[in-house]
Amino acid sequence: MELVDKIIKGERAAIAKAITLVESSKDTDQQISRELISELIKKPGKSIRVGFSGPPGVGKSTFIESFGSYLVSQNYKLGILAIDPSSQITGGSILGDKTRMVEISKNPNTFIRSTPSRGTLGGISMGTREASIILDAAGYDFIFIETVGVGQSEIVASNLVDIFTLIVGPGSGDELQGIKKGITEYADIFIVNKNDGELKMEASKTAADYKSALSYYKKLDALEKQVLLVSAIEQTGMEDVIKTINQIIDQNKLKGIFDERRADQLEYWIEEEVKNIIASDITKRLTSKGNIPKYSEKVMKNEMSMYEAVETITKDTLKQ
Amino acid sequence: MTNKSNNGFNTWQKSFEKETKKNFSDAKSETDEGIDIKPVYTRDDLENFSFVENNSLPGQWPYTRGPKASMYTNRPWTIRQYAGFSTAEESNEFYKKNLESGQKGLSVAFDLPTHRGYDSDDDLVMGDVGKAGVAIDTVEDMKILFNNIPLDQMSVSMTMNGAVLPVLASFIVAGEEQGVDKSLLSGTIQNDILKEFMVRNTYIYPPEPSMKIVADIIEFTSKEMPKFNSISISGYHMQEAGADNVLELAYTLADGMEYVRAAMSKGLDVDDFAPRLSFFFAIGTDFFMEIAKLRAARTLWAKIMKNFGAKNERSLILRTHCQTSGVSLTEKDPYNNIIRTSYEALSAILGGTQSLHTNSFDEAIALPTDESARIARNTQLILQNETGVTKTVDPLAGSYFVENLTEELSKKAWDIITEIEELGGMTKAVKAGIPKLKIEESATKKQAKVDSGSRVVVGVNKYKNPKEPSVDVRVIDNNRVRDDQIKKIQAIKKSRDTKAVEKALTNLTNAAKDETNLLIPCIEAIKLRATVGEVSKALEQVYGRHFAKSLSVSGVYGKHFEGDEEFMKVESKIKEFENLNGRRPRVLVVKMGQDGHDRGAKIVATSFADMGFDVDMGPLFQSPKDVAKDAIENDVHAIGVSTLAAGHKTLVPELMKGLKEIDPKSKIIVFVGGIIPEQDYEFLYENNVSAIFGPGSNIIESAEKVIDLISDNLSKE
Ligand code: B12
Ligand SMILES: Nc1nc2c(ncn2[C@@H]2O[C@H](COP(=O)(O)OP(=O)(O)OP(=O)(O)O)[C@@H](O)[C@H]2O)c(=O)[nH]1
Ligand SMILES: [Mg+2]
């Protein structure tokens, strides 16, 4: 494929077109993108994928601008996939991430793509995983994935990356009660942002709260969860972040966790994909057979119970 | 006895209802401010006031009726036309001609590079030099600007905020070298940075250091320049950006309070500086509302300053400059603008302004020509000399309607001011971006009203002129201006004492690290012929440059068009497009160069998104190269360039080049919106621009054209 060569050469327009293909809802585009991805995974790059998640407005984009500037100044190549939460249910989206990433977006060693989330689960859009495969093949050292953290989304987002980072704001310590085992398993690093000006005290306190809360959930062989204090606006704490990322990556590689994780993620995505295909297949069958209105009418007329109806429909639908 | 209980009113009400076939209680019209205007006002409407005092007199508490007892009966308002373009030499000629023709005060418009602290030779400002104002790089330019204009006699107003330190320093040094001591200089420096972060967009440093600079200037002028207004607290730009009158009034006064606090934090007594605070408001087309606004502003400010503990009466009095509204003026059928401006000017006068700028009829096309500027000036000369409006002070006092409106506006504004104060003041609110967003929301509503036809704009959405007149435009050759400026800079850099300049700049950088008043080391550097750009950079080293993050309103435009056929037609075209192409049409809306007019871009972006486009919003001040990178990485179908400050002939070809450099086969189409004189259309089309949307374009129609063009372009593949 010509596109593959261009991507591997790092041609900006080709990378962009390829991402459009993997995000496209058109059948023919999806066909091409499947072929494309099968080709690209044969030529893997060496990227480290880092996820940045957190509540709206906590400073994810600002942090990426700051941290990204630091990385490109160290000559790293940086790909950024920003999943923009601002989409409306109807209507299109206003994608404003770039107004918060002014400096790095100018840099020739970055590639920044915003994607409207369209309300999909966890704000991960269709194609984010594939887009990171494309950037990997194109030779980016780091791939950042920015997602809004709400509810279930961390689980999805964390399955896309080698290191998952949760960015929180000063004062968010109160929400710690809500932090269940789940999130501590998925997140490797907790970054308390806005450690500046009047917010400094509060930020330190929040970091301390996180540290003590996390100490309960120590996992056996994994590295201790890290809590870092930064100010995206004042660009402080950036060295700590890269140091911690590198440390975790090195450790994980050494202990085999790095590959294990990628393997687990693969299982996750295969399962998801299979479920998706089955679900959409079943949905198609359900509608084409017209069982639901038929049996619901029977239930309405008290001819059968709802459970009987469910059982009958299920059997009929799964019948080949 | 009140009116309502009297028989006369009942009879009137019956007649009214019979004539209109409406209930009196339903016969209200709501203004943009959310004020219900009744068809008639009576003496009852003068009651229960908490701000306006019914029997007050001009020049007396609470100053509703004017800052002075005699007002125009003694001396008419000052005709002060805002102007500046190209080089200092050309602007100086223009000023002298205007002064000979009856203008009384000067008001300098600087170009955008100067505003943003860049010298004319900076690569970042290639398209902007001398285009939208006069280019000032060094004190030599400033001296040329006032050549043969004696600065001890002429009051000079300068619209400068971002680069306020080097520019005010240059003015002071220019005076000195003309033989005029700074204590004799009279005039005003705008020095209002908060509204820059909200709407005007010529900031340089982040909010905190910027506020410190404002306070430094207030401190210096209050001690050294007794005849000079240290600040012009401006609501004008807010209204031009789309604020309704309540927002304009409230935010302006809240800004004023913030400046008072900043100055007091330097240890100044409020009466030391408050008499030299001045204001600036816009006067739009809502005739009585604008009159009421000026009266309300004075009333509220007196109260605010009393709360600050001001003892000197002059501290309580709000003095203001006004400018008729530019945004009310249209590109279509432009002679209508003369009429609009006349009414607005009358409104400003009845509201009691101290000085006035009237816009030229070619406002929505380009900078004024000599001819259009003459008509604008004559609008005021006719008011002063022929209409008799100067003979009575505050002639509308006692009007049931105007007094009631003054009270209503005061109340509404006061509520917002109280809210902001509770939030911790305007600096905080501005940093959080709330006022900007509110103004954009208001602007979007206004656009929806015009696009839907519920608000009539003569010659634009109704009563169109079948034979549009073509008008002459002022053309500025920015490449020539830039070359001239660069030559001057080079000559100065050769002849000055480089070592001394460097030392002065280092001093300045060091001063920025502590509490020193920065104007003092600035004056030193400027005297030695440091440039405006060098001085700005010396401070930038400590403060950094501010990048605004932009928030967007959403759903405001679409809400106005629920069930509208044209709107739904575009929506369904977009759905069709999505089904066919696997994604929505995606458009990148951009501002390039130093042009900070973002009202149109923001409105177009939010409206397009409401119709179903995916819209990428670029930051301000992008270079064409950066835009090309953004567009290609996001694989947008089209780029919409919004350009109002006349940089299009330089910037658009650069963008085309940038796209081809990254992707020689790029299929991204480019269209352009904003201020484009008809004379430039062909040039843009020759440079492969697909469509041009000028002022007054209906956004729904524009959107339809854009989606059609994108579809056509894709089907060509
Ligand atoms: C409002 C305004 C301002 C506001 C801007 C507020 C803001 N945040 O935007 C304020 C008061 C701050 C301002 C300041 C200045 N202004 Co001004 N301003 C105007 C004014 C009066 C109206 C512009 C406007 O917002 N119209 C309303 C919007 C909705 O319309 P629009 O932008 O034209 O957009 C419509 C179409 O053009 C089209 N469109 C536009 N963009 C796009 C994009 C796409 C994708 C599409 C599809 C369509 C589209 O659709 C829109 C809807 O109809 C114009 C004159 C005029 N009447 O047009 C002068 C004008 C643009 N300003 C001018 C100048 C010189 C300045 C200053 C530089 C003055 C100075 N020297 O200090 C400053 C600096 C501003 C800066 N930072 O750049 C000049 C520019 C001269 C020139 N081009 O030759 C003008 C033309 C006035 C004049 N004749 O002198 N200004
Ligand atoms: N004080 C302080 N404010 C910050 C910092 N980082 C970001 N902010 C502010 O927080 C706000 C939100 O920043 P963004 O970067 O847009 O946040 P985000 O998490 O990407 O937001 P969404 O993408 O909308 O979810 C902005 O007003 C920033 O200026 C910081 O380090 N300190
Ligand atoms: Mg973000």
Each residue's pLDDT tens digit, B417-448: 999 999 999 999 998 899 999 999 999 999 99
Q: Which residue of B has its CA nearest to A96?
A: B617
Which residues neighbour ligand 3 (ion) by CB within 5 Å? A 60-61
Q: In the numeric block, which tokens belong to residue B648?
A: 């299009």
Residues B111, B595, B598, B616: which is the catalytic one?
B595
**Listed residue (B269, B221, B272, B227) closest to B519, CA to CA:** B221
Q: Tell me the C-alpha to C-alpha distance, in Å, between residue A75 and each of A109, B174, B308.
A: 8, 47, 54
pLDDT at A177 over 70: no
Q: What is the pLDDT of residue B643?
A: 98
Distance CA B544, CA B211 (A): 14
Ligand 1: does its nearest atom lie under 6 Å from the Cβ of B200? yes
Contact B619 A23 (CB under 8 A): no
CB B475 within 8 A of CB B648: no
Average pLDDT over residues B339-358: 98
Distance CA B688, CA B671 (A): 9
Query: What number of residues does chain A have?
Result: 320
DSSP string computed for B43-65: GGGGSS-SS--TT--TTSTT-TT
Quickly state the pLDDT bin for A92 (edges 50, 70, 90). confident
Q: What is the pLDDT of residue A151?
A: 58
pLDDT at B299 over 60: yes
Contact B609 A93 (CB under 8 A): yes
Ligand 1: does its nearest atom lie under 6 Å from the Cβ of B646? yes
Percent helix, strand and coil across chain B, each rounded to 5? 50, 10, 35
Q: Which residue of A has its CA nearest to B615?
A: A94
Q: HSE-up of B580 (CA within 13 Å, CB side)?
A: 13
pLDDT at B277 over 50: yes
Average pLDDT over residues B650-654: 97
Contact A12 B662 (CB under 8 A): yes
First and final C-alpha spacing in chain B: 80
Quickly state the pLDDT bin for B579 (edges 50, 70, 90). very high
Distance CA B577, CA B614 (A): 12
Query: What is the dihedral sign for C-alpha B693, B698, B699, B702?
Result: negative
Contact B609 A92 (CB under 8 A): yes
**Listed residue (B95, B98, B166) closest to B136, CA to CA:** B166
pLDDT at A38 over 60: yes
Q: What is the pLDDT of residue B205?
A: 97
Which of A184-193, A273-282, B29-38: highest mean pLDDT?
B29-38
**Listed residue (A150, A195, A153, A136) closest to A170, CA to CA:** A195
Each residue's pLDDT tens digit, B449-487: 999 999 999 999 999 999 999 999 999 999 999 999 999
Average pLDDT over residues B515-521: 96
Contact A94 B548 (CB under 8 A): no
The residues pairing with B231 across neighbouring beta strands, listed in sequence order, are B277
Q: What is the pLDDT of residue A180?
A: 52
φ/ψ of A116, rounded to 5, equals -70, 135
Instruction: Say whether the ipTM exceeds 0.85.
Output: yes
pLDDT at B279 over 60: yes
| Nearest ligand 2 atom, CA B431 | 27
Residue A100 is nearest to which of B549, B580, B606, comparing CB atoms? B549
Q: What is the pLDDT of residue A125?
A: 61
Helix (H, G, I), strand (E, B) or coil at B176: helix
Max Cα–Cα distance, chain B, nearest Å: 87
Specify the DSSP element, H or E, that contains B112: helix B112-115
Quickly state the pLDDT bin for A118 (edges 50, 70, 90). low
* A72 Cα distance to chain centroid: 22
Each residue's pLDDT tens digit, A238-261: 999 999 999 999 999 999 999 999
Q: What is the pLDDT of residue A275?
A: 87
Note if B595 is an active site residue.
yes
Note if B118 is an active site residue.
no
Residues B182, B293, B446, B591: which is the catalytic one?
B591
Distance CA A186, CA A192 (A): 17
Kindly give, in sequence order, each residue whose CB lies less than 8 Å from that of residue B27, ignoring residues fewer than 6 positions away.
Answer: B16, B20, B38, B39
Q: What is the pLDDT of residue B1?
A: 45
Q: How far is the CA of A56 from the centre of ligand 2 (A)?
A: 8
pLDDT averaged over chain B? 96
- Ligand 2 pocket check: which of B436, B549, B552 to mutate, most ligand atoms within 8 Å of Cβ? B549
**Listed residue (B637, B573, B641) closest to A17, CA to CA:** B637
Distance CA B112, CA B132 (A): 7
CB B297 within 8 A of CB B252: yes
SS3 for chain A, per residue? CHHHHHHHHCCHHHHHHHHHHHHCCCHHHHHHHHHHHHHHCCCCCCCEEEEEEECCCCCHHHHHHHHHHHHHHCCCCEEEEEEECCCCCCCCCEECHHHHCHHHHHCCCEEEEEEECCCCHHHCCCCHHHHHHHHHHCCCCEEEEEEECCCCHHHHHHCCCCEEEEEECCCHHHHHHHCCHHHHHHCCEEEECCCCHHHHHHHHHHHHHHHHHHHHHCCCCCCCCEEEECECCCCECHHHHHHHHHHHHHHHHHCCHHHHHHHHHHHHHHHHHHHHHHHHHHHHHHHHHCHHHHHHHHHHCCCCCHHHHHHHHHHHHHCC
The residues pairing with B584 across neighbouring beta strands, listed in sequence order, are none
Note if B462 is an active site residue.
no
Q: What is the pLDDT of residue A97?
A: 83
**Listed residue (A134, A146, A118, A37) closest to B633, CA to CA:** A134
Q: Which residue of B has its CA nearest to A81?
A: B634
Q: How far is the CA of B315 from the centre of ligand 3 (A)?
A: 45
Q: In the numeric block, which tokens belong to residue B567?
A: 């709107």
Each residue's pLDDT tens digit, A276-318: 888 888 888 888 888 999 999 999 999 999 999 999 999 998 8
Q: What is the pLDDT of residue A96?
A: 87
Residue type, B501: V
Note if B637 is an active site residue.
no
Kindly give, in sequence order, each residue whose CB lies less than 8 Å from that of residue B95, ignoring residues fewer than 6 positions away.
Answer: B83, B106, B145, B149
Among left, alpha and beta (phi > 0; psi -120 to 50; other), residue B46 is: alpha
Each residue's pLDDT tens digit, B689-709: 999 999 999 999 999 999 999
pTM of the model: 0.95
Average pLDDT over residues B360-388: 97
CB B88 within 8 A of CB B146: no
Q: How far is the CA of B580 from the centre of ligand 1 (A)?
A: 37
Distance CA B680, CA B692 (A): 10
Each residue's pLDDT tens digit, B109-167: 999 999 999 999 999 998 999 999 999 999 999 999 999 999 999 999 999 999 999 99
Please count the other Cβ atoms lying within 10 Å of the Cβ belonging to residue A185: 16
Residue type, B592: M
Which residue's CA is the closest to the ligand 1 atom numbered 65? Answer: B132
Each residue's pLDDT tens digit, B74-121: 999 999 999 999 999 999 999 999 999 988 889 999 999 999 999 999
Chain B residues whose C-beta sits inside 8 Å of any chain A C-beta: 547-552, 554-555, 558, 574, 578, 580-584, 605-606, 608-619, 623, 626, 629-630, 632-635, 662-663, 665-666
pLDDT averaged over chain A? 87
Note if B82 is an active site residue.
yes
Contact A92 B555 (CB under 8 A): no
Q: Beta B689-693 vs B156-159: how paired, if at all?
A: unpaired
φ/ψ of B228, rounded to 5, equals -110, 130
Contacts within 8 Å (CB) and 24+ apart, B50-55: B50/B407, B50/B411, B51/B296, B51/B299, B51/B300, B51/B303, B51/B406, B51/B407, B51/B410, B51/B411, B51/B414, B52/B295, B52/B299, B52/B403, B52/B406, B52/B407, B52/B410, B54/B403
Torsion angle defined by CA atoms of residues B361, B365, B371 and B372, in that order, rounded to the nearest 10 degrees? 20
> Burial level of B300, CB count in 10 A (0-12/13-18/19+)?
buried
pLDDT at A82 over 70: yes
**b/e per residue, A91-111, with b = 16+ CB within 10 A?**
bbbbbbbbbbbbebbebebbb
Ligand 2: does its nearest atom lie under 6 Å from the Cβ of A53? no
DSSP string computed for B582-631: SS--EEEEE-BTT----HHHHHHHHHHHHHT-EEEEPPTTB-HHHHHHHH
Q: Beta B29-30 vs B36-37: how paired, if at all?
A: antiparallel
Kindly give, in sequence order, each residue whose CB lies less than 8 Å from that of residue B498, ignoring residues fewer than 6 positions away.
Answer: none
> Burial level of A215, CB count in 10 A (0-12/13-18/19+)?
exposed
Which residue's CA is the closest to the ligand 2 atom numbered 7? Answer: A59
Task: Tell me if the bond preceding B207 is cis, omega within 30° of 0.
Answer: no
Average pLDDT over residues A14-26: 95
* A148 Cα distance to chain centroid: 9
DSSP at B182: G
Q: What is the pLDDT of residue A218?
A: 60
First and final C-alpha spacing in chain A: 38
| Nearest ligand 2 atom, CA A84 | 23
Q: What angle do CA B43, B46, B52 make, to 5 degrees?
A: 155
Helix (H, G, I), strand (E, B) or coil at B146: coil
Distance CA A53, CA A144 (A): 10
- Ligand 1 pocket check: which of B134, B285, B642, B644 to mutate, most ligand atoms within 8 Å of Cβ? B644
Residues B38, B41, B44, B82: which is the catalytic one?
B82
- Ligand 2 pocket check: which of A61, A62, A241 to mutate, most ligand atoms within 8 Å of Cβ? A62
Please count the other Cβ atoms lying within 10 Å of the Cβ belonging to residue B224: 15
Measured between beta carbons, the chain B residues lying within 8 angstroms of A12 are 629, 632-633, 662-663
Each residue's pLDDT tens digit, A211-235: 887 776 665 555 578 899 999 999 9
Q: What is the pLDDT of residue A122?
A: 47
Q: What is the pLDDT of residue A223?
A: 59
Ligand 2: does its nearest atom lie under 6 Å from the Cβ of A193? yes
Distance CA B458, CA B352 (A): 28
Kindly give, in sequence order, each residue whose CB lies less than 8 Å from that of residue A128, ignoring residues fewer than 6 positions away.
Answer: A81, A83, A115, A145, A160
Helix (H, G, I), strand (E, B) or coil at B311: coil
Average pLDDT over residues B398-404: 98
Edge-first strand order for the sheet with B689-693 is A94-95, B614-617, B586-590, B638-643, B669-674, B689-693
Among left, alpha and beta (phi > 0; psi -120 to 50; other), residue B397 is: beta
Q: Chain A closest CA to B668's CA: distance in Å?
A: 11
Quickly state the pLDDT bin for B7 (edges 50, 70, 90). confident
Ligand 2: does its nearest atom lie under 6 Å from the Cβ of A77? no
